[in-house]
């Protein structure tokens, strides 16, 4: 008897999420979603990342006949305010000036949707991240590398940004954009066992 496992689909255009999922040794298809990411600005961070993760996964699931579709969304939160991806270099510099020398939180939402049945799991993970103090010149040089531009909060912990982060409390992969411990739980509950 052969057991047919459900195909996996990553509903993301993020190369970081692709690399993290590949690191688990699973085969999967990548289908970036094209959803509207706007939300009521009053939405709390946990609710915001869960809603957007589910919106991304559901949009791609609607185009698939079968499979478990994985969606994710990451934001940085400081002083109760949500920072997404910077629109330009000036905004990236402003975000980094706010984060430098302080601790912020990174929220990542995760959703897994079964394209065939519509069943889903949704949750989020939070990690506290301390960033070193930075001079204006250091901030300008970091932004000039280009690395901050497509990252929530205008930095990448997995890149040059690693040198700015002396301490985190919580899951590293939540900061990069895909909480792998939560993913193993959700996939297991939906019939795909990583171990
Ligand atoms: C804080 C932080 C964020 N990020 C990235 C993860 C996400 O790609 C991005 C946040 O934007 P998202 O809107 O979560 O994702 P995305 O638009 O890049 O991709 P998709 O919606 O197709 O899945 O910031 C890092 O790579 N490193 C970090 O340290």
- pLDDT given at position 178: 98
Residue owning tokens 């609607």: 62
User: 5: pLDDT confidence band, cut at 50, 70 and 90?
Assistant: confident
Looking at the structure, give the CATH architecture of the domain made up of residues 8-189. Answer: Alpha-Beta Complex (3.90)
The domain ranges of the chain are 8-189
**Paired tokens of 182:** 């939560």
For residues 167-191, give the mean pLDDT: 98
- Catalytic residue from among 34, 36, 40, 73: 73
- Helices 136-144, 89-99: axis angle to 10 degrees equals 130
User: How large a percentage of the chain has pLDDT more than 70?
Assistant: 98
The answer to whether residues 109 and 57 touch, using CB atoms and an 8 Å cutoff, is no
**Paired tokens of 65:** 């006949």
Q: What is the mean pLDDT of the chain?
A: 96
For residues 137-163, give the mean pLDDT: 98
Give, using CA atoms, the residue closest to atom 28 of ligand 1. Answer: 156
The ipTM is 0.96
Q: Which residue, among 81, 100, 78, 80, has the nearest Cα to 148 in the 3D structure?
A: 100
User: 2: pLDDT confidence band, cut at 50, 70 and 90?
Assistant: low
Locate all alpha helices (DSSP H) within the chain, ordered by sequence: 15-22, 45-61, 89-99, 136-144, 172-176, 180-189
Cα 134 to averaged position of ligand 1 atoms, centre (Å)? 23
User: 4: pLDDT confidence band, cut at 50, 70 and 90?
Assistant: low
114 a catalytic residue:
no
- Left, alpha or beta for 147 (phi > 0: left; psi -120 to 50: alpha)? alpha
Q: At residue 3, does pLDDT exceed 80?
A: no
Q: What is the pLDDT of residues 35-91, one digit of tens each?
A: 999 999 899 999 999 999 999 999 999 999 999 999 999 999 999 999 999 999 999
- pLDDT given at position 141: 98
Q: At residue 27, does pLDDT exceed 80?
A: yes
Q: At residue 1, does pLDDT exceed 80?
A: no
Ligand 1 site residues (CB inside 6 A) read 12-14, 16-17, 32, 56, 72-74, 76, 85, 106, 150-153, 155-158, 161, 175-177
Distance CA 64, CA 62 (A): 6
Query: Which of 10, 13, 14, 146 has most ligand 1 atoms within 8 Å of its beta carbon, as the pocket-test mutant?
Result: 14
């Amino acid at each position: 008897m052969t057991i047919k496992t459900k195909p996996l689909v990553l509903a993301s255009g993020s190369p970081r999420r692709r690399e993290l999922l590949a690191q688990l040794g699973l085969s999967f298809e990548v289908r970036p979603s094209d959803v509207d990411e706007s939300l009521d600005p009053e939405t709390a961070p946990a609710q915001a990342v869960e809603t957007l993760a589910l919106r991304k996964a559901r949009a791609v699931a609607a185009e698939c006949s079968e499979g478990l579709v994985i969606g994710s969304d990451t934001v940085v939160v400081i002083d109760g305010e949500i920072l997404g991806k910077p629109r330009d270099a000036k905004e990236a510099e402003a975000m980094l000036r706010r984060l430098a020398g302080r601790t912020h939180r990174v929220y990542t939402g995760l959703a897994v949707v079964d394209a065939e049945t519509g069943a889903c799991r949704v949750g989020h993970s939070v990690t506290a991240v301390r960033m070193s103090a930075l001079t204006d010149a250091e901030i300008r040089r970091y932004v000039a590398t280009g690395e901050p531009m497509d990252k929530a909060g205008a930095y990448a912990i997995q890149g040059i940004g690693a040198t700015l982060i002396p301490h985190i409390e919580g899951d590293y992969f939540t900061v990069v954009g895909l909480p792998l411990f939560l993913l193993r739980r959700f996939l297991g509950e939906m019939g795909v066992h990583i171990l």
